[in-house]
Amino acid sequence: MILTLRKACKKQSNHLPIGQVDLDGSFTALVKRGLIDVIKIPFKGESQVSWHVTKQGMTILRKLGYKEPC
């Protein structure tokens, strides 16, 4: 699960989309724990959905000694 969170951070820092297809197995577990969340972005009168690593997810990585660029 931590490896998946780190991959999500790397993608986020490179402004790439994050989704279940992009990340291995633990995506749902990260969402349930609040480490990855969805954000709605208004775009041309509609809402676009984008996933992102939450502050809680970033904090956990820092406490484990990882310096991911989220």
Instruction: Name all domains of the chain by residue range, CATH numbers in brackets.
Output: 2-63 (1.10.10)
15-68 tens-digit pLDDT = 888 877 777 778 889 999 999 998 888 888 888 888 899 999 999 999 999 987
Return the DSSP state at 63: H
3 state SS of 49: strand
pLDDT of residue 40: 85
Q: Is the dihedral of CA 13, 20, 41, 54 positive or negative?
A: negative
Report the pLDDT value the prediction gives residue 66, as an integer from 0 to 100.
92
* pLDDT value for 65: 93
What stretches of 1-70 adopt beta strand conformation (E)?
A: 36-43, 46-53
